[in-house]
Amino acid sequence: MTYSRKLQITVPCSSSNIGPGFDVLGVTLSLYLTLDISIFEPSSVKENYNAEVVLTYSGEGNDGVPLSVEKNLITKTALYVLACNNISGFTAPMTINVNNLIPMGRGLGSSGAAVVAGVMLGNVSGNLGLTKDRMLDYCLMIERHPDNVTAALMGGFIASYLRELNTDDTGIPHSEELEKKNDMINKLSSQIVPERIGHYIKLNWAKEIKAITIIPQFEVSTAEAREILPNDYNKNDVVFNLQRLAVLIMALSQSPPDADLICQAMQDKVHQPYRKQLIPGLSEIITNVKPTTHPGLLGICLSGAGPTILALATHNFDNISKTVIDMFAKENIEAVVKVLDVVEGGAQVVETKYNNA
**Partner from ligand ATP, ligand HSE, none binding residue 162, C-beta < 5-8 Å depending on class:** none
Strand partners, 9: 35, 349
Q: What are phi and psi of 313, to 5 degrees?
A: -155, 160
Interface pattern 8-37 for ligand ATP (x via CB under 6 A):
-------------------------x----
**Partner from ligand ATP, ligand HSE, none binding residue 22, C-beta < 5-8 Å depending on class:** ligand HSE
- Applying CB under 6 A, which of residues 270, 305, 309, 347 lies at the interface with ligand HSE? 305
In the complex with ligand HSE, the residue whose CB is nearer, 84 or 139, is 139
User: How many CA atoms lie within 13 Å of 62's alpha carbon, on the beta-carbon side?
Assistant: 12
Minimum CB–partner distance for residue 13 and ligand ATP (Å): 8
Q: Is 178 helix (H, G, I), strand (E, B) or coil?
A: helix
| Per CB under 6 A, 112 contacts ligand ATP | yes
| Burial of 149 (C-beta count, 10 Å sphere; 0-12/13-18/19+) | buried
Residues 40-79 that bind ligand ATP (CB under 6 A): 61, 65, 72-74
- Applying CB under 6 A, which of residues 35, 53, 108, 120 lies at the interface with ligand ATP? 108
In the complex with ligand HSE, the residue whose CB is nearer, 197 or 305, is 305
In the complex with ligand ATP, the residue whose CB is nearer, 78 or 259, is 78
Collect all residues with Cβ–Cβ distance below 8 Å to 72 and sequence separation of at least 6: 55, 57, 65, 66
- Applying CB under 6 A, which of residues 4, 10, 15, 16 lies at the interface with ligand HSE? 16
Collect all residues with Cβ–Cβ distance below 8 Å to 348 and sequence separation of at least 6: 9, 10
| Per CB under 6 A, 118 contacts ligand ATP | no
Collect all residues with Cβ–Cβ distance below 8 Å to 236 and sequence separation of at least 6: none
In the complex with ligand ATP, the residue whose CB is nearer, 69 or 124, is 69
| Burial of 167 (C-beta count, 10 Å sphere; 0-12/13-18/19+) | exposed
Q: Report which residue type is found at 176.
A: E
Minimum CB–partner distance for residue 178 and ligand ATP (Å): 9
Nearest to 58 by CA among 90, 35, 38, 28: 35
Find the helix packing angle between 110-125 and 73-84, rounded to 10°: 40
* Window contacting ligand HSE (CB under 6 A); options: 97-105, 144-152, 240-248, 319-327: 144-152
| Per CB under 6 A, 304 contacts ligand ATP | yes
Question: Which residue ranges make up the site for ligand ATP (CB under 6 A)?
Answer: 33, 61, 65, 72-74, 100, 104-112, 114, 148, 176, 179, 221-222, 304-305
